[in-house]
Amino acid sequence: MKLLIINGPNLNFLGIREKSIYGAEGYETLVERLKQKAKQDGIDLEVYQDNSEGAIIDRIQQAYFEEVDGIIINPGAYAHYSIAIRDALASVDIPKIEVHISNVYKREEFRHTSVITPVCTGEILGLGVQGYFLAMDAMKEYVK
Ligand code: DQA
C-alpha cells in the first residue's frame, strides 16, 4: 500500500508551538516514528509538509498520478477555510482521512467548521499525535 501523509501549515512546529495543545514531541521525531510503523506494517509511506496552500494542492494532484492508495491529511488551519484544498481532495478518487491533533470542537468557534471533512472518507481528532497512527491502521483496513 502506497500511503501519503500531508501536514499543512505550522505542523512542522510541533514540539515548539503551543505544547499544551499539540504535545511536546518534535515534528521530526513524529515523522521518524510514523516511518518506523510504516516499515513494520509493510506500507510505502511518504510524509509531506508544507506551509502554503498551492504546494499542498500540487502534492494532492501528484498523488493522483502516483496512484497513491490513501491520503491522511492534517490541513492545519486550512481545514477551516480552504475551498481550494477541498476541491483538490474532491478531485482525486483516493480514500482520505482527515486528522486533527487537538479536539477542535473544544476550542475557538472558528475551528468548529471544517470545509475538508465532507470530501473525506473519515476523520480522527482530539487524540493527540496518536491520531496519525490510528489513521494509518484505519486506512490499511479500509483499502483492503
Ligand atoms: C490542527 C487544528 C487547527 O485548528 C490548527 O489551525 C492547526 C492544527 C490540529 O491538528 O489540531 O494548525 O489541525
Average pLDDT, the chain: 98
Average pLDDT over residues 33-47: 98
- For the question of residue 22 being annotated catalytic, the response is yes
Average pLDDT over residues 20-32: 98
Distance CA 88, CA 60 (A): 7
User: Residue 9 pairs with which residues in a beta bridge?
Assistant: none
Q: Among 69, 68, 84, 140, which residue's Cα sits nearest to residue 116?
A: 84
Q: What share of the chain is helix, strand, coil (3-state, %, to 5)?
A: 50, 20, 30
C-alpha cell, 1: 500500500
* pTM higher than 0.75: yes
Residue 97: pLDDT band (50, 70, 90) is: very high
Rg (CA), the chain: 14
Given the residues 27, 100, 112, 132, the one annotated as active site: 100
Provide the pLDDT for residue 29: 98
When pLDDT is averaged across residues 71-88 and rounded to a whole number, the result is 98
Residue 135: the pLDDT is 98
Question: What is the pLDDT confidence band of residue 82, given thresholds at 50, 70 and 90?
Answer: very high
Which residue from 22, 50, 53, 105 has its CB within 8 A of the most atoms of ligand 1, so it is best to mutate? 22
